Amino acid sequence: MGLYFHSPRLGWAVGSGGTILKTVDGGKNWKKVSSGTTASLMSVLFHDEKLGWAVGANGTIRRTLDGGNTWQVQPADTQAPLYGLSFVSQSEGWVVGGNGTVLHTQDGGMHWVDQASKTSAALYGVQFLTAQHGTVVGAVGTVLMTDDGGVTWIPQETQGAVTLFDVYFSDPSTGWTVGNAGAIFHTTDGGRRWIDRTLPCDRGCTKLTDLLRVRFTDHQTGWIAGERGMVYRTIDGGLSWLEQGAIAKVSLFGLSFPDGAQGWASGEKGTIVHLNTGR
């Protein structure tokens, strides 16, 4: 379901049944490692080559200190499904999930503290650029922002009730969030105002694609992955998004670019696809 590449050769993918896979040769070969859980894992993130976390169903959080070869339980006082995570250092990070769950750690995940999001909406995406400034997105058009490390979360207006699945800021001012039915929102003022850039429904379009992940490799170049394997790319800072076609037959829930030259997408049924960013 989710994946993360720390470098063009070193990456990890997670999925159903507690699956964790690791590659050290740029995705040519993937080795299965024991996660110690059968819960579905939704997202994985590494701070460096050794230190990483994976989150998933039933409040599952796992941490590795040896590059993903072994994983330890991190207790979280929740049974909510956990969908997204963001770390600003080896010790401080956040995890978001169902029923408005936001968890915060300052000791690498040994202890997780619930932060009051003041929403019951499922929260799918989170990104912190600094220990103070972060953004969370989720169901019914939810966008929450904090300037105090999550002590207070302030809802932002997006003029829509679409479910938002991911958020990504390329710098403190410029950010993107994507969601169902082609939803794309763009901010240039750090998330205080969001501009609707939803994809148009062109000729022959019967249903707009749900957009599940967004990443930028520089200020001009960005990628969106979605359902039915669809991928979109921008080379003009998101003013226009060019359909790249379906790179798989399944929905893509993971998107990772270790550098500007290449990336990977992951999705249902163990699908992992290499993206040539020069296409």
Structural domain span for residue 56? 1-74
Q: Give Cα 107 to chain centroid, integer Å.
A: 22
Q: What is the pLDDT of residue 261?
A: 82
Residue 260 lies in a domain: no
Per-residue pLDDT reduced to its tens digit, 125-155: 999 999 999 999 999 999 999 999 999 999 9
* Residue 259, domain member (yes or no): no
With a cut of 80, say whether residue 254 has pLDDT above it.
yes
Q: 279 vs 26, 36, 58, 85, 223, CA distance in Å?
A: 18, 39, 39, 30, 12
The pLDDT of 52-61, averaged and rounded, is 98
Task: Give per-residue pLDDT as tens, 149-206.
Answer: 999 999 998 767 899 999 999 999 999 999 999 999 999 999 989 999 988 877 666 6
* In the predicted structure, residue 73 carries a pLDDT above the cut 80: yes
pLDDT at 119: 96
Segment holding 234, helix H or strand E: strand 230-234
In this prediction, residue 277 carries a pLDDT of 73
In this prediction, residue 208 carries a pLDDT of 83
In the chain, how many domains are there?
Answer: 1
What is the per-residue pLDDT across 13-46, written as a single tens digit (0 to 9) for each?
999 999 999 999 999 999 999 999 999 999 999 9
Specify if 210 maps to a domain. Answer: no
> Which of the pair, 260 or 63, is modelled with greater confidence?
63
State the pLDDT at residue 276.
77
- CB–CB of 58/39 below 8 Å? yes
Residue with tokens 């932002």: 156
Flag whether 205 is in a domain.
Answer: no
Whether the pLDDT of residue 235 is over 60: the answer is: yes
Residue 202: inside a domain: no
* Residue 136 in domain: no
In the chain, what's the furthest Cα-to-Cα distance? Answer: 52
41 occurs within a structural domain: yes
Average pLDDT over residues 203-215: 84
- What single letter denotes the amino acid at residue 235? I
Using CA atoms, how far apart are residues 148 and 270, in angstroms rounded to an integer?
38
The chain-wide mean pLDDT, for the chain, equals 94
